[in-house]
Amino acid sequence: MAKSISTLLALLALPLLASAQTNNAFPLWPDGAPGALGTSSNDIPTLAAFLPATDKATGAAFVICPGGGYGGLADHEGSHYARWLNELGIAGFVLKYRLGSAGYRHPVMLQDAVRALRTLRARAGEWQLDPKRIGIMGSSAGGHLSSTLLTHFDAGKPDAADPIERVSSRPDLGILCYPVISMGTNAHVGSRNNLLGKEPSPELVRELSNELHVTKETPPCFLWHTWEDKGVKIENVLSFANALQAAGVRFDLHVYERGAHGLGLGTHDWQPEKRHPWTRDCEFWLKQRGFAK
């Protein structure tokens, strides 16, 4: 009976947590995002802050990029991940980036991710964060966006008028969950169409095939996928791991036999015992990297 009551309470809490995400969101550019096509919600990229209990906080944080094929944003790959990170003492900031379904194309999505990472680093003191422990995390197309920043960051512009633009956009860690990586042969076609349009140039395809842009400066990564995934080819994560290995970048790779594409934590009713094993493996890795207690 006790277990049934606790399960019911967890389910009832989900709508409240979802609304907290909306109320907690703030625009990345208070005066309007560069390249905005309008002023609706679809044109305003935001971050929603999910902070751990003060007595448990480690000072580490992740920008979280939900998946959705660059056409939508999956909440279970956003706020759910943030709440899981909070359990580990890590702050989670869910990025609502602009989408192909609203008329946007690259480089707008990367622009939003860059701004999100810079915002956390530049304003770290406001949330009691360590500016040297800020990572990026994403699933599916959100994994592509994350891997794009992991391979296309810059050191910032020291002379910029905006203090946020002065700091580095390089993440300190990456977590890629069943990610889209390539825009070439192994691309997820829907994601590619929404990001680059239906007839992208070969140069653009190469620029956004992130396995081709790993260097020794790419941050360490935790990567996972499932053999059963029919949505995104497993070759994506394997090619990124191969590139990391060739560049001498540390990584933790897990390929699980079972699990459909988009499984997120593996459970939507917030019962830890039902979560997919990747969460435990990633927790171990985060503790090794000094992000979690």
**Considering the domain boundaries, does residue 9 fall inside one?**
no
Which pLDDT tens digit goes with each residue over 233-245? 999 999 999 999 9
Q: Is residue 210 part of a domain?
A: yes
Mean pLDDT for 1-9 is 36
Q: How many CB atoms lie within 10 A of CB 269?
A: 10
**Residue 67 within a domain:** yes
37 within domain boundaries: no
Q: Domain with 204 in it: what CATH number?
A: 3.40.50.1820
Question: Could you tell me the residue range of the domain that residue 143 belongs to?
Answer: 45-288
What whole-number distance in Å separates Cα of residue 103 and Cα of residue 208? 18
CA distances from 170 to 32, 160, 215 (A): 24, 17, 13
d(CA 25, CA 105): 23
- DSSP one-letter string for 94-113: EEE---GGGT--TTHHHHHH
Pick 11 or 153 by higher pLDDT. 153
Residue with tokens 């009691």: 128
CB atoms within 10 A of CB 86: 17
Q: In terms of pTM, does the model score above 0.75? A: yes
In-domain check, residue 258? yes
Between CA 110 and CA 146 the distance in angstroms is 9
Asked whether residue 277 is domain-assigned, the answer is yes
Name the phi and psi angles at 259, rounded to 5.
Answer: 130, 125
Q: Examine residue 152 and state whether it is found in any structural domain, yes or no.
A: yes
Reading the block at residue 87, the tokens are 């359990």
Query: How many domains are there within the chain?
Result: 1
Report yes or no on 109 lying in a domain: yes
